[in-house]
């Protein structure tokens, strides 16, 4: 046996088997190699690509954009457009990061407030 099964690949990449097959159907993946009886065998290169996809998804890139990127990669050319896509997403991720850091501060503050309140409401019952 060479290559990974759908199950293994799904586990490695944190996606469901259904999702993997769906990604292939819609063209995010090139057709995956098959065993004699028609089962998929993912190569390491497939896995790497899927890992990239899963990271892009996890950071909010729309499937539509991943598809566009995949098509550029498939065509072999379009470096400039790929660059633009990735740079656009990088900017998106940066802004999300920033927003989350802000929210984290707010949460820390709120949580501290609640903790103070909870502690004040149950003064040393001995059960803590």
Residue 127 contacts which entry, a second copy, DNA, none (Cβ below 5-8 A, type-dependent): none
Q: How many residues bind a second copy (CB under 8 A)?
A: 33
**CA separation for the pair 60, 89 (Å, rounded):** 9
Residues 48-77, interacting with DNA (CB under 7 A): 57, 62-64
Q: Is 117 in the site for DNA (CB under 7 A)?
A: no
Contacting a second copy (CB under 8 A), which of 22, 103, 124, 125?
103
Contact between 13 and 48 (Cβ < 8 Å): no
Residue 9 near residue 50, CB atoms below 8 Å: yes
Helices (H), the chain: 6-13, 17-26, 44-58, 63-75, 79-121
Q: What is the dihedral of CA 16, 20, 25, 31, to 10 degrees?
A: -160
Give which of DNA, a second copy, none residue 25 binds (C-beta under 5 to 8 Å, depending on kind).
DNA
Q: State which of positions 47-76 bind a second copy (CB under 8 A).
A: 52, 55-56, 58-59
Q: Distance between CA 38 and CA 104 in Å, rounded?
A: 48
Q: Which residues bind DNA (CB under 7 A)?
A: 5-7, 16-19, 21-22, 25, 34, 36-40, 57, 62-64
Q: Which residues bind a second copy (CB under 8 A)?
A: 52, 55-56, 58-59, 79-80, 82-83, 86-87, 89-90, 93-94, 96-97, 99-104, 106-108, 110-111, 114-115, 117-118, 121
């Amino acid at each position: 046996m060479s290559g990974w099964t759908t199950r293994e690949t799904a586990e490695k990449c944190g996606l469901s088997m259904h999702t993997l097959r769906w990604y292939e159907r819609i063209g995010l993946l090139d057709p995956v190699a098959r065993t004699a009886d028609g089962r998929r065998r993912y190569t390491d290169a497939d896995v790497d690509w899927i890992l990239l996809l899963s990271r892009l998804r996890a950071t909010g890139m729309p499937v539509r954009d991943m598809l566009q990127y995949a098509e550029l990669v498939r065509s072999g050319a379009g470096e400039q457009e790929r660059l633009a896509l990735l740079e656009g997403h990088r900017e998106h991720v940066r802004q999300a990061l920033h927003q989350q850091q802000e929210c984290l501060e707010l949460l820390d503050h709120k949580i501290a407030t609640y903790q103070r309140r909870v502690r004040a409401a149950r003064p040393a019952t001995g059960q803590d």
